[in-house]
Chain A
Amino acid sequence: MSWAGAALRESAIVEETESKAPSVTIEELVRLHAQTVFRVAYSLVRNHADAEDVVQETFLRAMKHGRLDGIENPKAWLSKIAWRLALDRAKRIPGEPLEPMLETLRSADDSLEDALEEQQRSELLRSLLQTLPSDLREVTVLSTVEEMTSGDIATVLGIPEGSVRTRLMRARQMLKQKLAAKLEKK
């Protein structure tokens, strides 16, 4: 068997595989990434209604984009769209939206005391985040979304991955200092 024949057969197999590769549909993107996109939006707007609006607008824009096959990292791409939409939406929300406490009850087993404690921690963290510089705040907020890797955050914010890690470390240091100061006051 000549190497030329083997190379030709290999290229034929590659072509056949590529031609059978399934194309990405908007339905698949919704099923795979809707929850992640929701969490990205919620991390900024902090209420379910606005977050869901942002998610809808994100997938509408994705559908209008058309060519979904060529997108290397659909999760990061969708998150980037959602982040920008959520930023615009968050600017229009007057003050800080306080979601009813019942929304934070994730299951029937959650007691009211646990929910209260959780809400207090959440409000504390939000107030601390507001004191951070915007570049540190953005990476910290995105890092709270479980599915987002540092690479995804870098894609969403348009910064190098190394910068994401550096900013996260600096943000954490600042948050700890501020938290310690608050606890001392108590």
Chain B
Amino acid sequence: MAEQDKIDKLLDRALGEYGATSARAGLEGRLLARLEAEPDRNRSWLWWIVVPAMAALAVIAVLVAWRPQSKVNIANVTPVRVGVPPAPPSTTEAPRRDWVVKQPSRPPHPKAPVKANPKRRDSEPRLATFPSQDSNDQLVRLAMQFVKAHPDEATEIVREQKEFREVAAQFTAPLKEEE
């Protein structure tokens, strides 16, 4: 029995010493310094680029979804000037078309570039059916590039936006009820 006790004590002591070690002084400081030296992996910079890009993408998606279904042949539409009373119709005089884009009678080819009339004045409004596509395409391209390069971050951001909308809806719902 004494032998067993001796073995128990020896084993306990050996096991205790086996694990009783400490790191060299200043381990936490060295660790924190190393972690701080790591490239900034937080997403703060992402927000400045991604959120506007994703917001633009959302706006584009909404515009595309709400685009009117019927295609209007602009060449046949009488132009309207803001602030100027419409001229009385005249059968002999040709309608003023100095700002109307010259189009062939058939519907334009979807890929054909629209040529702007050089005589168009900036003060006259654009027609809703000719929104400028350039800036939207660029934004869409930027957004798609980002999604391809950082799929995980893009997914995370979309998820967080959705969560934010849900939370915002909870807060605004009571306000709407009060109104």
Interface residues of A, Cβ cutoff 8 Å to B:
26-27, 30-31, 34-35, 38-39, 42-43, 48, 51-52, 55-56, 59-60, 63-64, 106, 118, 121-122, 124-126, 140-141, 143-146, 172, 175-176, 179-180, 183
Contact = CB atoms under 8 A, between A and B. Distances in A.
Given A30-B32, A106-B22, A38 B27 contact: yes
Given A48-B23, A64-B41, A176-B8, A125 B28 contact: no
Interface string B25-53: 00110111011001001000000000000
A126 B51 CA distance: 56
A12 B4 CA distance: 61
Interface residues of B, number: 27
Contact of A55 (B14, B18, B23): B23
B29 to A, nearest CB: 9
A43 B22 contact: no
A144 B15 contact: yes
B148 interface: no
B16 to A, nearest CB: 7
B11 A34 contact: no
A64 B39 CA distance: 11
B21 A55 contact: no
A98 B41 CA distance: 38
Given A60-B34, A64-B41, A52 B23 contact: yes
Nearest to B13: A121
A91 B19 CA distance: 20
Contacts of B19: 39, 43, 143-146
A6 B28 CA distance: 46
Given A39-B19, A125-B15, A176-B7, A56 B24 contact: no
Contacts of B13: 121
Given A122-B17, A144-B19, A175-B11, A59 B27 contact: no
A121 B20 CA distance: 13
Given A59-B34, A64-B41, A125-B14, 10 more contacts: A34-B31, A43-B18, A48-B23, A48-B24, A59-B35, A121-B13, A141-B18, A143-B15, A179-B11, A183-B7
